[in-house]
Chain A
């Protein structure tokens, strides 16, 4: 039972354009959501997060949107750069569960010059 789902295994975007990565979850107890970025042969690194009491969080070129009623979140990257090419993992947690993160399958983003 996949509680966090990323239905697009890959996404290709032109440099300078917007990248939108999507994530759906099923567990209504999740109260904190994160995005991680992963380059080949490296571990995932934290990118941006959002608490369930917010619907938007912005950090430079990265913005995460949360729609609790739809159990959906998205990551927007504007403008996209070739260095953003990586695998992006969506993750969710219920901090009553000790902070363990449940991850999606990942979306591989390719930003073409």
Chain B
């Protein structure tokens, strides 16, 4: 089991550019979550999917953020256009959605927008 795989590990981009973060969940997990970590707010839930369908996107900051899950093994989080305040570590996590299956996180993507 390779765990949740995220790419890239680091992304540095200029303000106004499009950024795409990628995630491969653990095989067999029906739920996929995107979180953002900042010093002020800790781990914020942005959006989560169940069986590839977005269930709750109330945490997505604004229309500049969008997420897709075209199939059970891949998801993207896109920011367009990016702004300096988007700089953070973005985590993807997956689970089977039961109490005895807590979220498994990837190692995150550290995004820096200059």
Contact check, A46 vs B50: say whether CB atoms are below 8 A apart: no
B42 within 8 A of partner (CB): yes
Using Cβ atoms and an 8 Å threshold, which residues of chain B touch A2? 41
Contact check, A105 vs B41: say whether CB atoms are below 8 A apart: yes
B43 within 8 A of partner (CB): yes
Interface size class of A (residues with CB under 8 A): 20 to 34
| Interface-central residue, B40, B45, B105, B107, by most chain A CB under 10 Å | B105
How far, in whole Å, are A44 and B92 apart by their CA atoms in the complex? 10
Contact check, B102 vs A100: say whether CB atoms are below 8 A apart: no
Q: Which of A6, A32, A98, A102 contacts B31 (CB 8 A)?
A: A98
How far, in whole Å, are A2 and B35 apart by their CA atoms in the complex? 15
Known: A98-B56, A103-B35. A41 touches B45 (CB 8 A): no
Q: Chain A 39-68, CB within 8 Å of chain B: the 1/0 string?
A: 001111110010100000000000000000
B103 within 8 A of partner (CB): yes
Interface size class of B (residues with CB under 8 A): 20 to 34
Contact check, B102 vs A103: say whether CB atoms are below 8 A apart: no
Q: Which of A6, A49, A102, A104 contacts B45 (CB 8 A)?
A: A102
A89 within 8 A of partner (CB): yes
Contact check, A100 vs B107: say whether CB atoms are below 8 A apart: no
Contact check, A100 vs B56: say whether CB atoms are below 8 A apart: yes
Nearest neighbor of A32 in chain B, beta-carbon distance: B99
Nearest neighbor of B93 in chain A, beta-carbon distance: A43
Nearest neighbor of B96 in chain A, beta-carbon distance: A99
B72 within 8 A of partner (CB): no
Q: List residues of chain A with CB under 8 Å of any chain B CB.
A: 2, 6, 32, 34, 36, 41-46, 49, 51, 89, 91, 95, 97-106
What are 9 A-B pairs with beta-carbon distances under 8 A? A41-B108, A42-B108, A43-B105, A43-B107, A44-B105, A46-B102, A89-B42, A103-B35, A105-B42
